Amino acid sequence: MSVVALLTDFGLHDHYVAAVKGVILQVNPKATLVDITHEIEPQQVTEAAFILRQAFPFFPEGTVFVAIVDPGVGTRRRILAACYNGCYVIAPDNGLLTFLQRDAELQDVRVVENRTLMASTLSTTFHGRDIMAPLAGHLSKGVPLERVGPVAERIEVFAVPRPVYGRDGSIDGLVLFVDHFGNLITNISELDVKAARAAGRRHEVLLGSRGVGPIRDTYADVPPGQVLALIGSTQMLEIAVNSGSAAALLNARRGDPVGVRV
């Protein structure tokens, strides 16, 4: 089975996703195409990097991931093909690999240069179709990564904000991502929370100066419409609303401060 998983900011209104899929299937008609999402906010590389990291562990070994959020398309930015944990990832070298680089085992990474693995004609505005898609088809058919191009000596990553820990067990972090449901996913991990709880003291979560309450176990631990904090499926602390949107109710967005207080 050859799985190719797609993540883009193309949306579904236009022809872009279909063109990418068509090119992959021209190269490998037996490929199984899986959509991670095509609803990344346009040019939001950080959001794409986070979602790629969350989806990545749940695919079988050998999957080819194609991540196309590429505001620098047509410039001198490179395209990379990397192997992490036995899977392949094709992406522009613009920080999109940041969370995989942090959390997965990098086994090889190449600069995409082999012209025979690309379309015969290259658009300066659609490298996803003309470079990344055909390469994904070839990799999914078993073309070795060594044929893609030379070893990349470096990978562009952006600084991932880390929580700050107080001596009293408090934690200061921020909203890292807002999901489709309006849940505010923070950069405070389950391990951070467990370390803070090790002191055996009760902790309260704050969004800015607004109290959210203690860390709960499920969304249903509070009545519908009420705000709560819990460890979500990403293993990160999140602020949510039972049957509602925390982002809308609290007028919150990415970057807002979050605290865990004694």
d(CA 186, CA 179): 11
pLDDT of residue 1: 63
| Spatial separation of the C-alpha atoms in residues 1 and 60, rounded to whole Å | 9
pLDDT for 195? 78
E strand intervals along the chain: 3-8, 32-37, 64-68, 79-84, 87-92, 106-111, 164-165, 171-178, 184-189, 204-207, 210-213, 215-216, 227-231, 236-241, 257-261
pLDDT interval class at 89 (50, 70, 90): very high
Task: Give the model's pLDDT for residue 197.
Answer: 66
The pLDDT assigned to 210 comes to: 94
- Give dist(CA 254, CA 177) in Å, integer: 6
Q: Which domains does the chain have, with CATH numbers?
A: 3-147 (3.40.50.10790), 164-261 (2.40.30.90)
User: By mean pLDDT, which of 63-72, 118-127, 148-157, 199-208 is the weakest?
Assistant: 199-208
**Per-residue pLDDT tens for 140-156?**
999 999 999 999 999 99
- Give me the chain's average pLDDT, please: 94
Confidence bin at 34 (pLDDT 50/70/90):
very high
Q: How many Å separate Cα 3 from the centre of its chain?
A: 18
